[in-house]
């Protein structure tokens, strides 16, 4: 065997594992079917702007160990995510906070806001059974109708009554004037871009791009003692138990000859009619400046369209409802029988992981596997 480990997928999970394995003196080969490293955190410079090619990635974590780990590979800026919601031309602050409640109801104090929410959440009795009930019980029907329902149904392509409640629990609700989207101790964007950060993680590791593992599985398996597979778990087993469902995303990127299109990195279009879910204006992740601190004259925007995944598309989001959860469990049992393969990451574990959680999971795996 030529290598101790073959890592399939050069995204965050694969990069952490490869880095750690190399540190431990193991021989590692990383392959990826795409023509670039960094998986879905891949960023590319356009007009001096780091464009997040597979959607906005804002690093945030409460996990000090993860923060200390990732900042070895990049310095982070102090970007704070505060998306704006556009509902038919009305603008609201996100996440749901005093600015949002003031605009929605005219209330000016936390007490008045609480009263409004209390009035509206009464329609939900007992434990919320789905995303709709969870949302109404968190912020009431008005906010649900204007800021949640349309956006969520576009993003997931499913009725809010069919979606699990936990998805909406990602969003904080605050009775303060605080537009920071994340409750996180640490937050920022890697200076120099995500691709450079992953490049640093993979320094000294052999990487081969445009290599499709599943097409030449036997050949690759013969090259290494063990495989770390970060692709889709159902694809690994050739969909033999049926397809897991994923959401995919299509981006329409435009370079505009103006310095400022929307004045914010993210604007969510929360009505049902606008076909895109959000528009990202990438320069604002880095305060509109180039590497030397000069204002950038142009701007790059991406309109994000959500769609149901079909073969040939990139999978982005696992659909963690009951049906898919059960199917994943069945695949996971098959995975447990593959003694020389470790399944990891958003696709390998079919889990709506944030970046920090992927890194934490990879580091845990390294501890088990490499010590
Ligand atoms: N969400 C919403 N309105 C918004 C933003 C988010 O209802 O303006 C809900 C929606 O259900 C979505 C979930 O919150 O699926 C998570 O959104 P987030 O932006 O955190 O997702 P990601 O950035 O991972 O795409």
Alpha carbon distances (Å) from 305 to 38, 131, 241: 22, 21, 29
Mean pLDDT of 328-339: 98
Say what the pLDDT of residue 232 is.
98
Measured distance CA(74)–CA(195) in Å, rounded: 10
Span between the terminal Cα atoms of the chain, in Å: 21
If we measure between CA atoms, which residue out of 126, 148, 146 comes closest to residue 135? 148
Q: Among positive and negative, which fits the CA dihedral 95, 195, 319, 342? A: negative
Using the mean position of ligand 1's atoms as its centre, give its distance from the Cα of residue 289 in Å.
27
pLDDT at 320 over 90: no
Using the mean position of ligand 1's atoms as its centre, give its distance from the Cα of residue 152 in Å.
7
Mean pLDDT of 78-95: 98
Q: What is the mean pLDDT of the chain?
A: 97
Measured distance CA(214)–CA(60) in Å, rounded: 33
Using the mean position of ligand 1's atoms as its centre, give its distance from the Cα of residue 95 in Å.
10
Tokens matching residue 147: 């800021």
Say what the pLDDT of residue 1 is.
76
pLDDT at 103 over 90: yes
Q: What beta strand segments (E) does 213-332 contain? A: 224-229, 246-256, 266-269, 278-281, 299-308, 317-318
If we measure between CA atoms, which residue out of 57, 59, 54 comes closest to residue 247? 54
Percent of the chain with pLDDT over 90: 96
Say what the pLDDT of residue 349 is.
98
Say what the pLDDT of residue 36 is.
98
pLDDT of 239-267, one tens digit each?
Answer: 999 999 999 999 999 999 999 999 999 99
Say what the pLDDT of residue 169 is.
85
Say what the pLDDT of residue 171 is.
87
- Helices (H) then strands (E): counts for the chain: 13, 16
Which of 136, 143, 151 for mutating ligand 1's site (highest number of atoms within 8 Å of CB)? Answer: 151
pLDDT of 278-314, one tens digit each?
Answer: 999 999 999 999 999 999 999 999 999 999 999 889 9
pLDDT at 180 over 90: yes
Say what the pLDDT of residue 341 is.
98
Using the mean position of ligand 1's atoms as its centre, give its distance from the Cα of residue 76 in Å.
24
Catalytic residues: 170, 174, 247, 278, 304, 352, 354
pLDDT at 130 over 80: yes
Pick the range with the lowest mean pLDDT from 69-73, 93-97, 229-233, 309-313.
309-313
Q: Which atom of ligand 1 is nearest to the CA of 171?
A: 14
Say what the pLDDT of residue 371 is.
86
Say what the pLDDT of residue 121 is.
95
Which of 81, 103, 144, 148 for mutating ligand 1's site (highest number of atoms within 8 Å of CB)? Answer: 148
CB atoms within 10 A of CB 369: 16
**Cβ < 6 A, ligand 1 pocket:** 85, 94, 147-148, 151-152, 155, 167-168, 170-171, 268, 270
């Amino acid at each position: 065997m030529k290598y101790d480990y073959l890592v399939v997928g050069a995204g965050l999970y694969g990069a952490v594992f490869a880095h750690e394995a190399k540190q431990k003196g193991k021989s590692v080969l990383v392959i990826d079917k795409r023509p670039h490293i960094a998986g879905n955190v891949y960023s590319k410079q356009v007009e001096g702007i780091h464009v997040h090619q597979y959607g906005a990635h804002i690093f945030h974590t409460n996990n000090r160990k993860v923060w200390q780990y990732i900042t070895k590979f990049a310095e982070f800026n102090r970007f704070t995510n505060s998306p704006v919601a556009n509902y038919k031309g009305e603008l609201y602050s996100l996440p749901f906070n005093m600015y949002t409640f003031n605009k929605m109801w005219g209330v000016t104090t936390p007490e008045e806001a609480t009263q409004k929410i209390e009035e509206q959440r009464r329609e939900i009795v007992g434990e919320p059974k789905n995303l709709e009930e969870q949302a109404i019980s968190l912020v009431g029907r008005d906010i649900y109708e204007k800021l949640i329902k349309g956006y969520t149904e576009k993003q997931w392509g499913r009725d809010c009554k069919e979606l699990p409640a936990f998805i909406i629990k990602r969003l904080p609700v605050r009775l303060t004037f605080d537009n920071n989207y994340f409750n996180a101790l640490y937050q920022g964007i890697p200076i120099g871009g995500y691709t450079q950060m992953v490049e640093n993680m993979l320094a000294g590791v052999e990487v081969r791009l445009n290599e499709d593992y599943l097409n030449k599985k036997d050949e690759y398996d013969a090259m290494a003692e063990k495989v770390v597979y970060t692709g889709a778990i159902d694809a690994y087993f050739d969909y033999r138990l049926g397809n897991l469902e994923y959401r995919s995303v299509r981006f329409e990127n435009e370079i505009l000859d103006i310095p400022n299109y929307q004045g914010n990195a993210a604007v969510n279009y929360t009505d049902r009619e606008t076909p895109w879910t959000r528009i990202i204006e990438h320069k604002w992740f880095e305060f509109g400046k180039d590497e030397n601190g000069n204002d950038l004259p142009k701007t790059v925007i991406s309109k994000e369209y959500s769609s149901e995944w079909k073969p040939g598309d990139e999978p982005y989001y696992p659909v963690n409802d009951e049906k898919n959860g059960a199917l994943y469990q069945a695949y996971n049992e098959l995975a447990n029988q593959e003694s020389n393969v470790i399944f990891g990451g958003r696709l390998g574990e079919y889990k709506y992981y944030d970046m920090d959680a992927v890194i934490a999971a990879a580091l845990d795996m390294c501890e088990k596997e490499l010590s």
